[in-house]
Structure 1
Amino acid sequence: MYDHCIIGGGIVGLAVAMALQEKTPGASIIVLEKESELGWHQTGHNSGVIHAGIYYAPGSLKAKLCRDGAEATKLFCAENRIPFENCGKLLVATNDAETLRMEALEERAQQNGIDYTRLTKGQLRADEPYIAGLGALLVRSTGIVDYSIVCRAMAQKIEAGGGEIRRGVAVRAIHEQEKSVRIESGSGSVEAKRLIACAGLQSDRIARMAGLKINHRIVPFRGEYYALPASKATVTQRLIYPIPDPDLPFLGIHLTRTIEGGMTVGPNAVLGFAREGYAKGSFAIADVASMAAFSGFWKMARANWRSAISEFANSASRGRYLTECQKYCPSLTIDDLQSPRAGIRAQAVMDDGSLVHDFLFKQTERMLHVCNAPSPAATSAIPIGRMIVERLLEGEAINASPAPEQARA
């Protein structure tokens, strides 16, 4: 009998385990991860950005957790000698419509308490000679890190504190009982007083396996990106992001420096046909059938079909993809788009077709399920873990009530 069992060895699950050790010294904790490596899916395939939180709706849970998480992530890295860098981010306006949206984003930055500088066209060119635009917002506190290294350091801390981490354990059944939860897998069963599920791409299936009635499903979106050649790795000293379109659910293609010294461009946001299929053309019958049987998927598709067609076109054509990049970095060429890769985002979609843009939790007497942990979940993982544990120990229901205007990730 364990005190706490956590399903999912991504950065959120590991952060929960660390928070439990902080709040309940001596408690027995076990983490179950179905893959042979920790942080294999969303954590290990993300962009490595430590976000400042400029985009998110003032007053939303996402905005607060992002600000707190950026500070906590940098502190954890410093304490554990993990390389990170505050390289800063430029949000670049390339036309008049984006300039107007940039002014609205500037107001949001002020409301969120984000330190920023507005650059004119001339100042932008002086700061980044290879970046074109009519102006930009510079957020200096945005950073970069390798979250896989962060996960390994978290795991070491958990195990050093007496916690147990089992890899290669796929959960087959969950039974909530009066005084405990029994979790069954191919390698045996585990019993714990409380269960916290941080299952990412499989979170809806784990919730239903546990007997929860949910009105959402996870829909996978592929984020396809390219690595730039070494000759273009210094094309910018900062991260370069477009001004987001509030009518679209994703941020758009951007330039991202990596902590290893490389540079990537992307990602787009294409509907995925396999939750864990990273190769182009991946197709899983069970995942497609799950989407097709969910009415919310078709409602979402009808509401976003124009965006979907555009993203599929960019995925099919490197030329179209390049055109998006050249809006703010005209020196890029088709030959610069090398080594295509992809990550997969677990997007919760409600049965009315709406996309969940903030955190979504479901809780019972002895279980708490993290049903949606959108970007910037990696940045926010440490305070997310602490918040979950505080509510769990207090026996309160978690309510991620977003601000009236849904934040976009």
Structure 2
Amino acid sequence: MSNARRHLSSLLKDGCASRCALAPARRRPWGCNGKLNLTWWHVKKLDRFTIEETLSTGTVTAYKALEQLPGDVTRPVTLRTHAIKDQVAMNRFVNEVRVLAALGTERHVATVYAMGVTDNIAWVASEYLPNSVASLCGDAPGKPDDVLRVLTDVLEGLHALHSCTPPVLHLDIKPSNIQIDRHGRCRLANFTMASAVSDDPVYAADSARYTPPEVLNKDFGPKSPSSDLYALGHVAYEIALGARQYRNAMPAVFEGVSTKEMPGPSRFMQWHCSISTRATDITEIRKDFPPALAAVIARLMAKGPKERYSSAAEVLADLKAATAPAPTPVAEASSPAAVPQRVAPSVAPPRFTRTAPSAPPPPPAGAANAPGEAGQTGSRYFVRLRGRQTGPFDLATLQRQVRQGLVSRLHQVSTDGITWRAATTLEGLF
């Protein structure tokens, strides 16, 4: 059996058939039903790594594996792999290697031991950290101290990443890509989607839950370091509320979806690109959450890139100010007969107030609405997104759907169901 067949069958398939192909013929314990009775010694291998279990799947598959070192010594590693199907995938892997080399031994980035390509399977072996921020995203709301720790550590890692020359964006910030070491420190991992600011934006469908609007739609402007900050804000928001309250805070996304299921990527993409739709302020749901910390998270999650923080250093400065203890008033010296003065109580930080959404980008030249059609209350419009068509609706109904997050800039509109144009060209809709 060739190495290519061995690795492709072991890494890209699951089940009895693939494991049977890997098992030595002399060790196949066939049962009376003709099927393979799987045992512990049916293992998968890639290069010098023995794969023990699958940690996560998606654009990149992560495994827990044992690396064989000289002298019959092994060590546990996290092995991230993805298939090299074309030159684009190879270029992306080479770019990831360059990013990891530039970061070096940054303490808020997972330590990388080795990387390579074996039989068209690109792999990166890093230190094995069994816990990730995904463990903090339970049903119960997270502690403010945990939210602050995740924000501070990840911002330190992003600051190092954005300080590269040229600046590099992670573009895949999500709970499973933020690992926690034995000291409780958060570390960034999985730089497969990382790219320079000047490169064309890319995103993984399985990460659409945290993808910023400008990466999904160029009408929102170019991607920048604030794109990573937007994703981090959503991670912090999810930890702060817990899974149950997180669903209630985003009804446009989770409407009609079972509590045991997660909406498809298109629901989140539509929500991110609806500039008039905002997540509910944390302090409106949790009265015990620090208002100053909630204000930082709300600004991280702003839809318009210009409304967000411009750098990780700026966020760190605000977090430091938000969590600094209030100064203790110094009592003035007074004579024994002096009447003691009452110290005024400290004023709590103001609650976060939402800023008005920024104006949408102007429609492209030549895409203006037909005279007498746009903005007319008598006109009715069909709405379409990825082949799914609804309507017709009048303009007032469409405007209400925009506010509810049901219609976004990704939609198309039509008055006859035949000729379609971008929803952004309909005057008065956004």
TM tier, smaller: under 0.3
Structure whose alpha-carbon radius of gyration is higher: 2
Which structure shows the bigger proportion of residues in strand conformation?
A: 1
Question: Higher relative CO (CA 8 A, sep ≥ 6), structure 1 or 2?
Answer: 1
Q: TM (normalized to structure 1)?
A: 0.24
Q: TM (normalized to structure 2)?
A: 0.24
